[in-house]
Every structure is written in C-alpha cells, then in structure tokens.
Amino acid sequence: MSDGRKTSLLLVFALLAGCATAPLGTQPAAIYKEGDQLYDAKRYDDAIAQYKKVRDAYSSTELSTNAELRIADAYFESERYIEAVSAYSDFRKLHPVHQKAPYALYRMGLASYYEITGTDRDQTPQKNTVIYFEDFLAKYPQSEHAADARDKLERVKVQQLQYELYVADFYYRTGKYTAAVKRLENALATFPKSPLHDETWFLLGASRLRSGSPEKAKEAFNRLATDFQLLKKYN
C-alpha cells in the first residue's frame, strides 16, 4: 500500500473517531443552549424537541434533569397546562428532593389554576388546584411562592362554594328542596369559613322551610341574622 493511501486511510479513521466521540461531551450542551434560545424566542415546540434530545442523551445527569424541567416550563408557557402538569409531576417523581421540586409542585397548582374557565363548568381544574396548592403549602410554607399559592387557593375555594350555591339554587328553583338542603349542608361542612355564607344560610333556611322543616329553617335564619345581620330576598 502506498504512503499516500495509508495517509488517506488514517485521515478517514481520525474523522470517524472524531465524529463518534466529540458529540458525547459537547453536543448535548450545545443542543440545550439551542433549546434555551428557542425558548426565549417563544418557539416552545422547537425548544421542547431540543430539550428532549438532551434528556434522552444521558450524557450529564445535571443537564438531563434541567432539560426535564425546561420541558415542563415550555409546556406551561405555551399554555398546554395538562402536559405541563404531567411533566412537572414526572420531574417530582424522578427528583423528589431536588431543589426545584417545590417549584415544580407550585407550577402544577398554577397550571391547574389557569385551566379554570368558569363557575358553572367542569370543576376538575378547581379540585386539582386545591390539591396541589394545599400540598405545596403544607410542605413548603416558607417558600417565596407561598403567598401567591395561598391567595389563589382562597380564590378557588370561593369559586367552589359558588358552584355549590349554583347547584343548590337550581335544585331550589326546580322544587328539589331536599337535594338543595343536602348540597348546602355539605357546602357548610366543606367550606366552614367563607364570606358567601350569608347566601348559603339564607338558601338553606328557605330550602328547609319548603321541605317541611320549619324549626331547622328557623335555625338557619337565626344563624344568618347572627353572623351577617342581614337577610337577602330569595324568591
């Protein structure tokens, strides 16, 4: 074999070796950086695709972990809240003691909160918001996000009570007084403190009266008078 041919073969082998080894150390970091650039440009689907490449490369535990969280953040920022909750949940399962685990739980609650569409709609987002924020506040009461979580939690609980009143009102107006009573009593037990309980007590009194329980109706009206010093018309 000629010296020139030997040299060419050596160059080919060197190039192949370089292609096989160089990406292991440098490519995931470069791809992660590309993902960040796409994220900053709000090209979230493209960013997710890059982060997933980094996550699946397993070249760096820290880089892969960061990519997992960035995937969840990208879903969140693109308002794909169901996917965001799932991704944040996966992150917490894989890294329960990670310093970003509290943040992931907070964002689960926030994503569920942003899924809420109205009082008279499906209540699943409200229920999930309460679950995640109560868990977050129990585990991380001193978090920088605790005040926001607490505020949104209270707002959602008011919405939940409004939904219960909405359903009870429907029962009352359609003559299903026993069903209205049961719904309202459950609401008082579930939400013992609420600024809306003036409506709850009055509707409960009216429903008990119509259902043939005047003494219990009187108890409800007395509670209303004691707690709120007012009566609302409810015909």
Tell me, yes or no, whether 188 lies in a domain.
yes
Asked whether the beta carbons of 63 and 41 are under 8 A apart, the reply is: no
Q: Which domain holds residue 198?
A: 175-235
pLDDT over 50 at 19, yes or no:
no
Domain total for the chain? 1
Among 8-22, 58-72, 197-211, the range scoring the smallest mean pLDDT is: 8-22
Using CA atoms, how far apart are residues 84 and 119, in angstroms rounded to an integer? 23
Tell me, yes or no, whether 50 lies in a domain.
no
Tell me, yes or no, whether 185 lies in a domain.
yes
Residue 229's pLDDT band (cuts 50, 70, 90): low
Tell me, yes or no, whether 184 lies in a domain.
yes
pLDDT at 24: 41
Tell me, yes or no, whether 72 lies in a domain.
no
pLDDT over 60 at 160, yes or no:
yes
Mean pLDDT of 160-181: 95
Report the mean per-residue pLDDT for the chain: 87
Residue found under tokens 């995937």 = 71
Tell me, yes or no, whether 196 lies in a domain.
yes
pLDDT at 5: 46
pLDDT at 139: 97
Tell me, yes or no, whether 40 lies in a domain.
no
SS3 string, the chain, reads CCHHHHHHHHHHHHHHHHHHHHHHHHHHHHHHHHHHHHHHCCCHHHHHHHHHHHHHHCCCHHHHHHHHHHHHHHHHHCCCHHHHHHHHHHHHHHCCCCCCHHHHHHHHHHHHHHCCCCCCCCCHHHHHHHHHHHHHHHHCCCCCCHHHHHHHHHHHHHHHHHHHHHHHHHHHHCCCHHHHHHHHHHHHHHCCCCCCHHHHHHHHHHHHHHCCCHHHHHHHHHHHHHHHCCCCCCC
> pLDDT tens, 114-144?
999 877 788 999 999 999 999 999 999 999 9
**Residue whose C-alpha is closest to residue 199's, from 161, 152, 153, 151:** 161
Asked whether the beta carbons of 232 and 198 are under 8 A apart, the reply is: yes
Please, which residues have CB within 8 angstroms of residue 90's CB and are 6 or more apart in sequence? 68, 72
> pLDDT tens, 22-65?
344 458 999 999 999 999 999 999 999 999 999 998 778 899 99
Tell me, yes or no, whether 235 lies in a domain.
yes
The amino acid occupying position 188 is L
Q: How far is CA 65 from the centre of its chain?
A: 20
Question: Residue 207: which H helix or E strand, with range?
Answer: helix 197-210
Residue % of the chain over a pLDDT of 90: 74
Q: What is the CATH number of the domain that holds 225?
A: 1.25.40
- Terminal Cα distance for the chain, rounded: 105
Mean pLDDT of 189-203: 89
